[in-house]
Amino acid sequence: MTGEPSSTNETGEAERRFFAKPWIFVRGVPSMKFLPPEGPPEIAFAGRSNVGKSSLINALLGQKGLARTSNTPGRTQELNFFVPDGFGDPAAGLPPIALVDMPGYGYAKAPKDQVDSWTALVFDYLRGRPSLKRVFLLIDARHGLKANDGEVMDLLDKAAMSYQIVLTKIDKIKPPAVPKLTEATLLAIKRRPAAYPSLIATSSEKGVGLDDLKAEILSFAV
């Protein structure tokens, strides 16, 4: 016999159907009091400004303009919630899952009070949202882990919030560098209690790693 096992094929088909549906932007949350009611599992995307969060979300959902992208890092200053179409109205019932595009951190050129404001929002959300099930911490493959990534991981560890490293833009480095970066990153997070013990290497532009990321997300859907 040739080909993939039927269970693998079924999983891939489920992912394809789930992410082929249109998704919609539900709400931008500038402070905790504007959070939507808790209900569906939430999966958040965190990372430094210009790490490619919005591009990755758009690639995952197959909708180029859904998550806002900008040439100016730090423009996204709210928690942006996305759900499958048909669940934007509370009367429609709870969606199976919600994806959250979080404000980028570490952008030095923004005014300090602005940086403090959206950094506090991110940290408050990570600490105090029971429906948040997983944080994907995006790391630019060209730069690797930085000091401010470590600060976020410290917070996640303290909050016992499960997080998984996702390398972005791996098409921007030479192929032999990818396994080396993967090994170095896994070694760096080995003793972190809330870190998931594997990572996903992705390229939004080339579509690399998106199926693996979709499978992880789908595992949390109700």
Mean pLDDT, the chain, whole residue set = 86
pLDDT given at position 6:
47
Average pLDDT for 27-45: 91
- Residue 24 CB contacts under 8 Å (≥ 6 apart), including other chains: 66, 82, 83, 84, 85, 88
The per-residue pLDDT for 107 is: 67
Residue 203 scores a pLDDT above 70: yes
- When mean pLDDT is compared over 7-16, 20-29, 184-193, the highest value belongs to 184-193
The confidence score (pLDDT) of residue 188 equals 97
Quickly list DSSP for 137-162: EEEETTT---HHHHHHHHHHHHTT--
**β-strand partners of 42:** 98, 132
If you average pLDDT over residues 158-174, what whole number do you get?
A: 95
Lowest mean pLDDT among 1-10, 22-31, 113-122: 1-10
Domains of the chain: 6-218 (3.40.50.300)
Q: How does pLDDT run across 53-105, given as a tens digit for each residue?
A: 989 999 999 998 898 765 554 455 789 999 998 876 666 678 899 999 988 88
Per residue in 54-68, pLDDT (tens digit) is 899 999 999 988 987
Predicted pLDDT of residue 185: 98
Total count of residues recorded for the chain: 222
Strands in 163-168's sheet, in edge-to-edge order, are: 23-29, 79-84, 98-101, 42-47, 132-140, 163-168, 200-201
